[in-house]
Structure 1
Amino acid sequence: MYLIKRFKKIIGCLSLLFLFSTVSKAQVGEHRHLFSIGVNGGMSLNSVDFSPKIKLSQMMGYTGGFTARYISEKYFAMICGAQIEVNYSLRGWKEEIEEQPVDNHLAYTRNMSYIEIPFLAHLAFGKEHRGAQVFINLGPQIGFLLTEKEEIEGDWSNPPIPIVEQHGKKIDKKFEYGITGGLGVELKTNAGNFLLEGRYYFGLSDFYNNTKKDFFSRSAHSVISVRLSYLWDLVK
């Protein structure tokens, strides 16, 4: 538990340092002042890292929201900037039940909706104006739980899985944080900028209490998403 907490602090500090150091390099490279806004949306595969471990399958979700990006400089071949988003995201977990009872199909899914705000360093390589770029986004992310809902099928009076403490248990912590990173391509055209990105989110905080008296010592989100974005330039 001590090592996990140390790991959380180290990763969080590194991502923050990376974000702010990237933006501060604007004094070294060729200055740019390109501000863009737009929308994004996509699908996600969601799971939760539980300890004690619970056997889960990937739960399909979705995400969508608004994007603002500022390009501050070109440093040799690297285009540098910062990006912030405000997204709605459906997450949660779906339990995998291998030994289904006869005449009693069991299923359990927890749907959790969040407002999430990633603060990203944006690094790109390629055409500045018209053409294609390859980019990397990396930085910290915070989130706020809006709603949660259980979907339960079957009679769970004699469950075939060893851990059911999560069933009926409300979320303890509505605020969360973690790190996120993505790799993508951008096509810059006269009609705007079109982006395709694959992204991974690793939760550093737990949504259940994790003291010694609590059952779960770890309960954090893990999200893989693919998203499309459209940005248009406001200030060049």
Structure 2
Amino acid sequence: MKRYFLFIVLLAASISMASAQMELGVRGGFLTTNRSFKPDRKSSSVGNANNYGLVVTNWGEKFWGIQWGIQAEVALAERGYKYLQGDTADYKLTQQMVEVPLMAQLHLTYRAVSLFLNAGPYFGYVLKQTEELTRDGITTSTDTKFLKGYDRRFQYGLTGGPGLNVHFGSIALQAEVRYYMGFAHLYNPAVEGVPSASKETGLGMFVGLMYRFK
């Protein structure tokens, strides 16, 4: 796990050195995700707060009071879905993923308050996945191996949403709502007996602490 945090620090440092006007910070929050299947499966969302990472925001000049920029992140995220049988989840899949969103940002500021809108692609790589099976009230958990040609470890899609920054000098508190629409399948649809579609959707609520360098 340490090597992933080292990668995060090095990426953030390289972006900061090339930046003309920049904020660097950390963020965390709650993310709920699900998978849509074809043929349809009775799946349900899985939510958790194990989502955190580094945030770098760069922006340019103002045009008609609106400032544009780029927000990049490197984060560790936990996602998944579950099947329901009655009111009880009998199957649950949880995945730990390195996630890299690269989003354009529109920024409108009045005094110390900024409203912004993010939108852009995200890319992910699944590090680990865990299956939970519940039978007769007993739950067993197993770390599953990735099968070549069957599991899709690389994930990608679009993400974005509105947010709010409140500045206190060089420090800013950031709150954001973000929607995820995945384009990559969880399972290879070319494999016989596998769903023809298994794409991700998600909704996250994040808070962050930012520091403005210039």
Length-normalised TM-score, structure 2: 0.80
Question: Percent identity of the aligned residues?
Answer: 27
Question: What per-residue deviation string (whole Å, max 9, x for no partner) do you get for residues 54-84 of structure 1?
Answer: 1122211231100011111211111110110
More off after superposition, 45-54 vs 111-120: 45-54
1:86 correspondence with 2:69: no
Residue 25 of structure 2, aligned match among 38, 51, 56: 38
Q: Which residue of 2 aligns with 1:181?
A: 160
Length-normalised TM-score, structure 1: 0.73
Q: Which residue of 1 aligns with 2:60?
A: 72
**5 Å matches for 1:81-160?**
81-98=69-86, 107-127=90-110, 130-154=111-135
Unaligned runs of 5+ in 1: 1-31, 156-166
Checking the alignment, whether the CA contact within 8 Å between 2:45 and 2:80 is kept in structure 1 is: no
Superposition CA RMSD, Å: 2.2
**5 Å matches for 1:6-45?**
33-45=20-32
Please give the secondary structure, in 2, of the residue aligned with 1:210.
coil
Question: What per-residue deviation string (whole Å, max 9, x for no partner) do you get for residues 147-166 of structure 1?
Answer: 000011106xxxxxxxxxxx
Aligned-residue offset at 1:108: 1.3
Mapped to 1, the partners of 2:45 and 2:183 lie a distance apart of 19
Are residues 106 and 126 of structure 1, via their aligned partners in 2, closer, same or farther at CA, if it must alter by over 3 Å? closer
Aligned-residue offset at 1:190: 1.7
Please give the secondary structure, in 2, of the residue aligned with 1:33.
coil
Q: Which residue of 2 aligns with 1:3?
A: none
Are residues 65 and 151 of structure 1, via their aligned partners in 2, closer, same or farther at CA, if it must alter by over 3 Å? same
Mapped to 2, the partners of 1:124 and 1:220 lie a distance apart of 31
Checking the alignment, whether the CA contact within 8 Å between 2:83 and 2:89 is kept in structure 1 is: no
Q: Larger radius of gyration, structure 1 or 2?
A: 1
Unaligned runs of 5+ in 2: 1-18, 137-143
Checking the alignment, whether the CA contact within 8 Å between 1:106 and 1:153 is kept in structure 2 is: yes
